[in-house]
Amino acid sequence: MDRFLNHPSDHSFSPTKHQALPTTLKEPFRTVHISNLADDFYSNHLDWHQNTLMFVCENKIKLMDFYSNRITDLKSFGSATVTCVKFGSDGKCAIVGTSNGNLHIIDMCTKKTSKFNVHRSRIGTVEPKDNVLVTGSRDRQIKCMDMRSKHISFAVEKHVQEVCGVRMNRSATLLASGGNDNKVFVMEMRNLKKEIKICAHRAAVKAIDWSKGSDWMMVSGGGTADKIIRIWNVYGITNDNNENSSHMHMKRAHGLQSTSTTDKMLVKAQSFNSQVCNVYWSSTNKILSTHGYSKNDARISNLSLRTTNVMCSHKNRVIHFAVNERLGCFVTGSADNKLCFWRMEDFEDIGMWLR
């Protein structure tokens, strides 16, 4: 295990001595006006793959070309409300969850749709990675589908309320889930009995992501009654060389993790004084977050969770969010009927075409 995991203070988790005030941006480099974006904390209505954005408007799945701003319809839904959308890992399909628990997989070339009755209630979060698709639902279940056979490979029920967020780590060996019960679970994909239960948040946890450079580093953010973003090091969940590992695994499998164990995993915690709706750990080790009550903004922070940039163009909570690291940009969506495009950093090579 490298020093990044052993000694986070040796890297960039510790605050610097001289902290500059955050840069506040009120104008995105591009704004697209659309109607009827949902003001629902549990929905995920925006995604971005290469040059194509996908969003939900009036229960229709729409696609927008980033370069031309041209918007086209992909699919219209009837009585079932669209609750989440996501591109497949390769961008060849669109994955859509609905309020009745159905999962729709749409071929981007042929527009052919395959429908699967996966859950008993709304699917609020989906996470595709290669041939694996994980879904989380209001029915409290987390399910994993093999995208090749379209069969469910496992179903687990860890949370006692709605599953708000699911994310796999970079190697798809660990799965993190956040729930409306304020809990975070981290599980082994191959052995779901090996788990960590985190009870640190005091509100719903929708915002979860993993480091792009480590299988063990994770970030989570809590809702209105919590407002805290926390960075975790979960190394040891599968480390059988640890003399205490068997005891720790047994406690974790029965949901009996002690506060001291959680404290050992906690790398950094910082209040953002606002509901955390989304969080993203970039490949350059920036923490991007979007917020609701009461700031309604987006922020870029370093690994010390010190905010360096604040983007405040929305009038409502920033529920919808997607990132395109290849372009160095991210997009935010809100019920104020705007999609706002922001630069992640001051990339000089992006050029004037972004304006």
Tell me if 343 sits within 8 A of 328, measured CB to CB.
Answer: yes
Which amino acid makes up residue 221?
G
Residue 240 has pLDDT above 80, yes or no: no
**Distance of CA 92 to CAs 20, 113, 150, 257, Å?**
43, 12, 16, 41
Residue 225 has pLDDT above 70, yes or no: yes
- What ranges in the chain are assigned the alpha helix state H? 3-6, 245-253, 259-265
Confidence of residue 347 (pLDDT cuts 50, 70, 90): very low
* Mean per-residue pLDDT, 166-176: 97
Across 205-219, 229-243, 310-324, least confident range:
229-243
Residue 56 has pLDDT above 80, yes or no: yes
**Res 148: pLDDT:** 94
Residue 333 has pLDDT above 70, yes or no: yes
**Res 14: pLDDT:** 55
Confidence of residue 255 (pLDDT cuts 50, 70, 90): very low
Q: Is 252 exposed, middle or buried (0-12, 13-18, 19+ CB in 10 A)?
A: buried
Terminal Cα distance for the chain, rounded: 43
**Distance of CA 68 to CAs 86, 183, 328, 340, Å?**
21, 42, 18, 15
Tell me the average pLDDT of the chain.
89
**Res 78: pLDDT:** 86
**Res 264: pLDDT:** 85
Q: Would you list the domain boundaries of the chain?
A: 43-157
As beta bridge partners, residue 246 has: none
142-145: long-range contacts at Cβ-Cβ below 8 A with a sequence spacing of 24 or more? 142/166, 142/175, 142/177, 143/118, 143/119, 144/189, 145/103, 145/116, 145/118
Give residue-wise pLDDT tens across range 256-298. Answer: 344 446 778 999 999 999 999 999 999 999 999 999 999 999 9
The topology (CATH level 3) of 43-157 is Methylamine Dehydrogenase; Chain H (2.130.10)
Six-digit token string for 144: 């994993």
Cα–Cα dist 135/144, whole Å: 6
Cα–Cα dist 103/80, whole Å: 11
Tell me if 237 sits within 8 A of 222, measured CB to CB.
Answer: no
Q: Which residue has the tokens 């009461």?
A: 294
**Residue (of 123, 129, 298) closest to 210 by Cα position:** 129
**Res 147: pLDDT:** 94
Confidence of residue 133 (pLDDT cuts 50, 70, 90): very high
Rounded to two decimals, the pTM is 0.88
Most confident of 61-75, 249-263, 336-350: 61-75
**Res 345: pLDDT:** 79
Six-digit token string for 292: 């609701």
Cα–Cα dist 47/63, whole Å: 10
**Res 346: pLDDT:** 56
**Res 16: pLDDT:** 53
**Res 283: pLDDT:** 97
**Res 256: pLDDT:** 36
For the chain, counts of helices (H) and of strands (E): 3, 29
Q: Which residue has the tokens 């796999």?
A: 168
* Mean per-residue pLDDT, 231-245: 63
Q: Phi/psi at 39 (nearest 5 deg)?
A: -100, 65
**Res 245: pLDDT:** 38
Largest CA-CA distance found in the chain, in angstroms, rounded = 58
Q: Where in 170-275 does DSSP place strands (E)? A: 174-179, 184-188, 195-198, 207-210, 217-221, 228-233, 266-271
As beta bridge partners, residue 136 has: 125, 142
**Res 237: pLDDT:** 62
**Residue (of 159, 187, 153, 184) closest to 173 by Cα position:** 187
Residue 139 has pLDDT above 90, yes or no: yes
